[in-house]
Amino acid sequence: MKKNLLILLLLSSLPFRFSIHAEDGYELWMRYHTISNQPTLKEYKKAITNWTIKGESAIIDAAKKELQTGLNGLLGNFIPETNQLSINGIVIAGTINNLSDIADAALKEKLKHLGSEGYVIVSGKVNKKKAIIIAANSDIGVLYGVFHFLRVLQTQLDITGLAIESAPKTKIRVLNHWDNLDRTVERGYAGFSLWDWHKLPDYLYTRYTDYARANASIGINGTVLTNVNANALVLTKDYLEKVAALAGVFRPYGIKVYLTARFSAPIEIGKLKTADPLDPDVVWWWNEKVKEIYSYIPDFGGFLVKANSEGQPGPQNYERSHADGANMLADALKPFNGIVMWRAFVYDNNVPEDRAKQAYNEFVPLDGTFRDNVLIQVKNGAIDFQPREPFHPLFGAMPKTPEMMEFQITQEYLGFATHLVYLATLFEECLKSDTYAKGKGSTVASIIDGSLEHKSLSGMAGVSNIGTDRNWTGHPFGQANWYAFGRLAWDPYLTSGDIANEWIRMTFSNSENFINTVKSIMLASREITVNYMTPIGLHHIMGRGHHFGPGPWVSEGRPDWTSLYYHRADSLGIGFDRTSTGSDAVSQYFPPVRDQFENVETCPENVLLWFHHLPWDYKMKSGRTLWDEMCYKYYAGVDSVIWMQKEWEKTKGLIDNERYNQVKTLLKMQEKEAIRWRDACVLYFQTFSKRPIPNDLEKPEQNLDYYINEKFYYVP
């Protein structure tokens, strides 16, 4: 006993507090390790001596636990809970009702504008003693406020004059898990599904709670547990009991559970002959099913539906529209305040139309016909989560319907979990895009947060990158994408730089040196990936099916699943003509965006080949030919991965060796894969351009056949 004490004392007196366990990334951005900056620590210790959270509920209990754990960890010693309000340095949290004795008029006034999830954090005085007050209109606001306050400490901000007000700008902030009931995860690269259906409802891993904590800490308030390529089984009694158990774990963190509804469920598990949304028996069946779901999960969020897309059943199987299908489910959910998130990701291989145009063509005519508890969930781009896509033309084109964003956090098309790609810059680029739907300033952000058309329903979904890997996301930097998604769902106007700054500080270190280096890697990483995968607007040229690595030669199967369909390279040139002389997809954008894309002179070069088929010797702004420019981009991509490695090496010793080495190894792998991308693409496109790789660039080591014949087995 004495010996143990001695070891503990010794450890706590070390200049940095090394944790006993390895830095395996499990703690995400909620590490709460003791602040190593001594002046800051001293200042915080003076300002925070005690804490109290008023109120009683499961959410308040969660807030208490978090604040206690966070303060103890960050300040390096036990910070007691107290009932005594006349002490200096107390942190007081609660709903405004529970704080009515101490809250002044100004505070009450502020909260009036912050809604049910917002909060304020202010430095003030209570009984003439210095205090920090975290106040909200509801318990969940208190929990969000507590997380924000801990973030302030984790990022080592000044806490002397706190005056923070925050409220989410979107209402539905959900992760979409493409998790199957057998625990495989579609497009999942971080192990298996977190949901251990076999052991549910009885066995509840602490990981479920940590999942909820992590989400709540960034304001995520919902989770769709199951794959959009849905299995009706999850709607049966046995599974609903399991879902209810998970909902019970998530509830104290303000996270609602949603499920994917397989449109043919009435046939598959209901023994009906049809799933026609206008058939009275089908309507009855869904009404009963929804009632049953709410008997298990009283705060069930609703359904996410992928219908008539990539082989999924839907209303069109019965000659009904997407609105008929969505409304039928919406009516069943309405009495319980449930919602339907109906996906716009639809395209048909029997339709000769440019795939990029199909969602718009199908949905725009339906604007105004959806129930008020339906949101249309639109992917950021019209094709499919490519490294770079122009924003989806549907944004702003359905003014009478709430449109929510679907981003993909999991890196299906961006190198899986071996590539460091900070996606916040991609998200930001899309959110900031001006659709001109109602003139200048009609940004995508203003559409999905509902402000442009004064919508009360709004939301953002992120296809999750989380799995059973110890560090949750496979690549340690995958955590940043989960984090950034949550922060942007809360406030789509945040910048990727500010988010990176927060995340680095909380996840790794507050050392300015470290932050600057790592932030520059993160902010550059997405463009680097675009360069070695799909520069100048190329898209969908990944390996067949699994989408791992390059596959510009993929040519068999349904046309819109081939690469040839997208790059259209021939002896004359390359690119998909989507101007008025081609598929005319540009016409789906509002002017002046339409004209900007239509005109080869004004079309941004980073999406040039998305909209134009251009000759190999087309003159780029750099003065180079298109062919040369393409080569330089591919080579620059690889060179930049080497640059990322050199930068990362500068951080050795600034953080723990475990994560340092892990990232180092992954960057090496990324280099290898970037070279494969570069060489395979340059060699393949060269068969059309018939031009040499510019002299100052090294020649590929392998020939094209080598890359075409490479086999990858059991790619996740």
- Residue 229 CB, nearest approach to ligand GCW (Å): 5
CB burial readout 400-438, b (16+ within 10 A) else e: ebbbbbbbbbbbbbbbbbbbbbbbbbbbbbbbebbbbbe
For ligand GCW, the binding residues in 259-288 under the rule CB under 6 A are: none
Segments of 328-402 assigned E as strands: 339-343, 374-379
Beta strands in 194-268 (DSSP E): 222-224, 256-260
Q: Is 584 left (phi over 0), alpha (psi -120 to 50) or beta?
A: left
Say how many residues touch ligand GCW, by CB under 6 A: 11
Nearest distance in Å: CB 314, ligand GCW: 12
Instruction: At 550, give phi and psi (nearest 5°).
Output: -75, 145
455 is a contact residue toward ligand GCW (CB under 6 A): no
Give the contact letters, 103-122, x = binds to ligand GCW (CB under 6 A), - = no. Answer: --------------------
Residue 178 Cβ vs ligand GCW, minimum distance, rounded to whole Å: 5
* Buried/exposed 304-320: b ≥16 CB within 10 Å, e otherwise: bbbbbbeebbbbbbbeb
Return d(Cα 91, Cα 65) in angstroms, integer: 14
Beta strands in 329-395 (DSSP E): 339-343, 374-379
Q: Which is nearer to ligand GCW, 412 or 453 (CB)?
A: 412
Least gap, CB of 563 to ligand GCW (angstroms): 14
The residue annotated as part of the active site, out of 384, 449, 527, 629, is 384
Is residue 229 a contact point for ligand GCW (CB under 6 A)? yes
Site for ligand GCW contains 409 (CB under 6 A): no
Given the structure tokens 């406030």, which residue do they identify? Answer: 491
Tell me whether residue 178 or residue 258 sits nearer to ligand GCW (CB atom).
178
Residue 560 touching ligand GCW (CB under 6 A): no
Using an 8 Å Cβ cutoff, are 466 and 190 in contact? yes
Q: Does 475 bind ligand GCW (CB under 6 A)?
A: no
384 is catalytic: yes
Q: Which of 173, 262, 306, 475 binds ligand GCW (CB under 6 A)?
A: 306
DSSP 396: T
**Other C-beta atoms lying within 10 Å of the C-beta of residue 470:** 11
| 385 is a contact residue toward ligand GCW (CB under 6 A) | yes
Q: What is the DSSP letter of 558?
A: S
In angstroms, the CA 119 to CA 111 distance is 7
3-state SS, one letter per residue, for 609-637: HHHCCEECCCECCCCCEHHHHHHHHHHHH
Is 292 designated active site?
no
Q: Which residues, in sequence order, are bridge partners of residue 573? A: 615
Handedness of CA 481, 484, 486, 491 (dihedral sign): negative
Q: Which is nearer to ligand GCW, 154 or 227 (CB)?
A: 227
Bond from prior residue into 592 cis (ω within 30 degrees of 0): yes
Nearest distance from residue 539's CB to ligand GCW, in Å?
12
Residue 389: active-site member: no
CA distance to 389, 534, 594, 604, per residue, from 566 (Å): 12, 11, 20, 18
Sign of the alpha-carbon torsion through 213, 217, 219, 220: negative
H or E segment and range at residue 152: helix 139-154
Of 204 and 233, which has the nearer Cβ to ligand GCW?
233
Residue 415: HSE in the Cβ half-sphere, 13 Å Cα cutoff: 31
- Our CB check for ligand GCW shows the closer of 463 and 515 to be 463
β-strands 172-176, 50-53 pairing: unpaired
* Nearest C-alpha neighbor of 388 from the set 499, 522, 527: 527
User: 192 and 198 in contact (C-beta within 8 Å)?
Assistant: no
Q: Which of residues 309-328 bind ligand GCW (CB under 6 A)?
A: 310
In the region spanning residues 343 to 362, those forming contacts with ligand GCW, defined by CB under 6 A, are: 345
Smallest gap from residue 36 Cβ to ligand GCW (A): 43
Nearest residue (beta carbon) to ligand GCW: 384
Which is nearer to ligand GCW, 114 or 542 (by Cβ)? 542
Cα–Cα dist 50/558, whole Å: 65
For ligand GCW, the binding residues in 156-215 under the rule CB under 6 A are: 178, 186-187
Minimum gap (Å) between residue 312 Cβ and ligand GCW: 8
Q: Which of 23, 117, 179, 412 is catalytic?
A: 412
* Bridge pairing between strands 163-166 and 119-126: antiparallel
Indicate the residue among 213 and 526 with the shorter CB distance to ligand GCW: 526
DSSP lists the bridge partners of residue 630 as: none
* Beta bridge pairs of residue 339: 302
In the bound complex, what is the minimum distance in angstroms from residue 347's beta carbon to ligand GCW? 10
Catalytic residue of the set 196, 241, 299, 310? 310
Q: Residue 214 corresponds to which amino acid?
A: A
Q: Name the residue nearer to ligand GCW (CB basis): 312 or 579.
A: 312
The answer to the question of residue 228 lying near ligand GCW (CB under 6 A) is: yes
- CB of 102 or CB of 305, closer to ligand GCW: 305
Give least dist CB 187 to ligand GCW, A.
5
Residue placing its CB nearer to ligand GCW in the complex, 187 or 487: 187
Eight-class DSSP state of 455:
-
State yes or no: residue 384 binds ligand GCW (CB under 6 A): yes
Contacts of 532 (CB under 8 A, 6+ apart): 634, 637, 638, 640, 641, 674, 677, 678
CB closer to ligand GCW, 600 vs 715: 715
Nearer to ligand GCW, 217 or 464 (CB): 464
| From 139, 389, 412, 453, residue interacting with ligand GCW (rule: CB under 6 A) | 412
Site string for ligand GCW, 52-91 (x = CB under 6 A): ----------------------------------------
Q: In the sheet that 90-95 helps form, which strands lie side by side, from edge to edge? A: 50-53, 90-95, 129-136, 119-126, 163-166
Decide: 651 and 667 in contact? Cβ < 8 Å.
no
State the nearest-atom distance from the C-beta of 630 to ligand GCW, in Å. Answer: 25
Residue with Cβ nearer ligand GCW (310 or 710): 310
Name the minimum Å distance from CB 463 to ligand GCW. Answer: 7
Cα–Cα dist 421/181, whole Å:
29
Residues marked active site are found at 310, 384, 412
| Chain positions contacting ligand GCW, by CB under 6 A | 178, 186-187, 228-229, 306, 310, 345, 384-385, 412
